C-alpha cells in the first residue's frame, strides 16, 4: 500500500524558515516524480513545486521561486521542501503528491499524503 506521510509543519514567524518532509513507502520511490501542493485555509489547490525521480530536474511556482527548494533522498525514500523567507501568504496545508512516472512530464497525482499545516504569523 502506498503511503505518503508529511511532517515538519507548525507555527513560524514571518521571515523564518521551515523544512517539510514527506516519507514515502509502498512503491519504488526513485521511479516517480513528486510534487508539493498547498491549500490555504478555505481556499483551492495551488501547485508549489515538482522534482523528477532522479532529482535532476526541479520546477517551482512563480509565487515561491527563489524562496523554496525541493529535494529528495531516494536512499531514504523521503521528499523535502525547504521554505525560506516565509510570508503570511504561505500559510496553508502542504501536501506531497506522487506523479505517475519518473519524469516531470507526467504530473498526474495519483497518491497524496494527509498534509501538514504551516502557519506563518507573528
Partner 1 sequence: DIQMTQSPSSLSASVGDRVTITCQARQDVSNHLNWYQQKPGRAPKLLIYDVSNLQTGVPSRFSGSGSGTDFTFTISSLQPEDIATYYCQQYDDLVSFGPGTKVHLK
How far apart (Å, rounded) are the C-alpha atoms in residues 47 and 63?
A: 10
What are the φ/ψ torsions at residue 73 (nearest 5 degrees)?
-120, 100
Helix (H, G, I), strand (E, B) or coil at 39: strand
Q: Is the dihedral of CA 69, 70, 74, 76 positive or negative?
A: positive
The interface mask with partner 1, positions 84-103, x = CB under 8 A, is -----------x----x---
Query: Which of 13, 41, 44, 56 forms a contact with partner 1 (CB under 8 A)?
Result: 44
Minimal distance in Å, beta carbon 15 to partner 1? 26
Query: Which of 109, 116, 118, 120 forms a contact with partner 1 (CB under 8 A)?
Result: 109
- Contact between 47 and partner 1 by CB under 8 A: the answer reads yes
How far apart (Å, rounded) are the C-alpha atoms in residues 86 and 84?
A: 5
How far apart (Å, rounded) are the C-alpha atoms in residues 66 and 25?
A: 30
Minimal distance in Å, beta carbon 85 to partner 1? 21
Positions in the binding site for partner 1 (CB under 8 A): 35, 37, 44-47, 50, 59, 61-62, 95, 100, 105-110, 112-115
Amino acid at each position: 500500500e502506498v503511503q505518503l506521510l508529511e511532517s515538519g509543519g507548525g507555527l513560524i514567524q514571518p521571515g523564518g524558515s521551515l523544512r517539510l518532509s514527506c516519507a514515502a513507502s509502498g512503491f519504488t520511490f526513485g521511479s516517480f516524480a513528486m510534487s508539493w501542493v498547498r491549500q490555504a485555509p478555505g481556499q483551492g489547490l495551488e501547485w508549489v513545486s515538482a522534482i523528477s525521480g532522479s532529482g535532476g530536474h526541479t520546477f517551482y511556482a512563480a509565487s515561491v521561486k527563489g524562496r523554496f527548494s525541493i529535494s529528495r533522498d531516494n536512499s531514504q525514500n523521503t521528499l523535502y521542501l525547504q521554505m525560506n523567507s516565509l510570508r503570511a501568504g504561505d500559510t496553508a496545508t502542504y501536501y506531497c503528491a506522487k506523479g505517475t512516472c519518473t519524469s516531470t512530464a507526467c504530473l498526474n497525482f495519483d497518491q497524496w499524503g494527509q498534509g501538514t499545516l504551516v502557519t506563518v504569523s507573528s
